[in-house]
Amino acid sequence: MGPRDHFATRLGFILAAAGSAVGLGNIWKFPFMAGQNGGGAFLIIYLAFVLTIGFSVMLAEFTIGRAGQRNPVGAFRALKGGAWPAVGGLGVVAGFVILSFYSVVGGWTLAYAIKAATGALASNDPETLGAAFGAFISEPEGVIGFHTLFMVLTGGIIAGGVRGGIERASRILMPVLVVLVIVLAGRAVTLEGAAKGIDFFLTPDFSKVTWGTVNAALGQAFFSLSLGMGAMLTYASYLDKQVNLPKTAAQVTILDTTFAVIAGFMVLPAVFAFGFDPAAGPGLTFITLPAVFAQMPAGQVFAFLFFALLAIAALTSAVSIMEPVVAYLIDERRMPRRWAALLSGVMIWALGVPSALSLGPWKDMTIGGKGFLDAMDYLASNIMLPTGGVLIALFVGWSISARAQEEAQSDGSHPFPLIRVWIFICRFVAPAAVAWVLISGL
């Protein structure tokens, strides 16, 4: 084995980390979660979690990864050992669960890119668009086929390795997607009747806040920033010492959050302008956006571009969910990269099948009142990621505090003025907040 593969440049790392963070979580999940959880109040609670716990856990993952230079399990073992490697193990398991349903929705975006190109989505009637989504989702061949295609693409990029696959894929198309989302948001907020949606999104109504809102906002913060399972940790393990970690964590956090907020402006005003139901759930973006495209000149072109780029954004995220699993198999089980990609890909694909069927043929099969896809999402986002995130924070805050502070500041070459605040959040604030949210749920 040669030396460990590394990112070529700091820009390459930022783009890969941002490529991980920006994905379906921003464009598909955030708008429908905000829609289901009362809009403005959800937004504020979400932002509060992102800026405190989110940023801190991201810096903690960067620190552990770069110090450990290994996959999540190996990094904890190299830095401390004891029971800590189990935290990395939890992350690897979470990766399986997340990617299984993520790939299903990624498949929807591929299918919608094709539908858009053929003009199948050209309508602004809520009923028609809702029915089209419903019909698509209930056909097993289609949803499983596109889920399969998405997993094959993800596994293929993974098999190519860090520089060949991940870095190149991330740096090309992200900027185009940014521009497109801004254009679409611009169109959505100027629709007749959009004001009600803007109001819904920006005016918090705290009387509607329940425990569920807070838990959803916390889970969404972890999910959207790719935290709590070692994805950012694994990417940082491919980093050299010179990179300024706090600065990079701040940039990725801001970029991801900006993206989510703009996606909110792209979807929610249109929801109200066209009279869709904001609480419609996972189908919301897929039903609403075609109506926006129908109001635009060359709408079909925009529609195709949008879904194609969304599929690519989803791919760069999916790759980051799979990489910890594969890195674990390579480092700890001595498997060649290609075999590791194939083995984990097949297992994740299989776990995704019930999710793929859960909005259609298997919609009556529920777990705790949720369909399979929703249940997987809930288990991963609202339970596994916050739990993993807190353990990561505790590890940095208590177990390797001195070492972590040195590493986070690159041994003094990048002093971080908020280093004590960061350690304080890792020690007390993050654990207390997450414990409070999780325990009050029981």
Shortest Cβ 261–ligand TRP spacing (Å): 13
Determine the distance from the C-alpha atom of residue 356 to the mean position of all C-alpha atoms in its chain, rounded to a whole number: 18
Contact between 59 and ligand TRP by CB under 6 A: the answer reads no
Please give the residues from 170 up to 229 whose contact with ligand TRP meets the rule CB under 6 A.
Answer: 223-224, 226, 229
* Closer by beta carbon to ligand TRP, 213 or else 320: 320
Contact between 24 and ligand TRP by CB under 6 A: the answer reads yes
Contact between 100 and ligand TRP by CB under 6 A: the answer reads no
C-alpha–C-alpha distance, residues 401 and 245, integer Å: 16
Could you say which of 14, 17, 25, 38 contacts ligand TRP (CB under 6 A)? Answer: 25
Could you say which of 12, 23, 282, 397 contacts ligand TRP (CB under 6 A)? Answer: 23
Backbone dihedral region for residue 228 (phi beyond 0: left; psi -120 to 50: alpha; all else: beta): left
Query: Do 271 and 262 meet the contact criterion of CB atoms below 8 Å apart?
Result: no
* Closer by beta carbon to ligand TRP, 24 or else 110: 24
Q: Which stretch binds ligand TRP (CB under 6 A): 17-25, 208-216, 243-251, 285-293?
A: 17-25
Contact between 325 and ligand TRP by CB under 6 A: the answer reads no
Shortest Cβ 224–ligand TRP spacing (Å): 4
Residue nearest to ligand TRP (CB): 25
Report the alpha-carbon angle 51-56-60, nearest 5. 155
Could you say which of 21, 184, 348, 353 contacts ligand TRP (CB under 6 A)? Answer: 21
Query: Do 441 and 379 meet the contact criterion of CB atoms below 8 Å apart?
Result: no
Torsion of CA 439, 230, 256, 148, to 10 degrees: -100
Contact between 231 and ligand TRP by CB under 6 A: the answer reads yes
Backbone dihedral region for residue 122 (phi beyond 0: left; psi -120 to 50: alpha; all else: beta): beta
User: Hey, which residues does 116 pair with through a beta bridge?
Assistant: none
Q: Which stretch binds ligand TRP (CB under 6 A): 173-181, 183-191, 317-325, 371-379?
A: 317-325
**Which helix H or strand E contains 384, and what residues bound it?**
none
Comparing CA positions, the residue from 229, 208, 214, 210 lying closest to residue 438 is: 214
Q: Which of helix, strand or coil describes residue 85? A: helix
C-alpha–C-alpha distance, residues 227 and 305, integer Å: 29
**Which helix H or strand E contains 402, and what residues bound it?**
helix 401-408
C-alpha–C-alpha distance, residues 296 and 194, integer Å: 15
* Closer by beta carbon to ligand TRP, 21 or else 116: 21
User: Count of residues binding ligand TRP (CB under 6 A)?
Assistant: 16
Please give the residues from 239 up to 278 whose contact with ligand TRP meets the rule CB under 6 A.
Answer: none
Shortest Cβ 377–ligand TRP spacing (Å): 10
Residue carrying structure tokens 């099948």: 353
Report the alpha-carbon angle 219-225-231, nearest 5. 105
Please give the residues from 370 up to 409 whose contact with ligand TRP meets the rule CB under 6 A.
Answer: 385
Shortest Cβ 175–ligand TRP spacing (Å): 17
* Closer by beta carbon to ligand TRP, 231 or else 390: 231
Task: Tell me which residues touch ligand TRP (CB under 6 A).
Answer: 20-21, 23-26, 98, 223-224, 226, 229, 231, 317, 320-321, 385
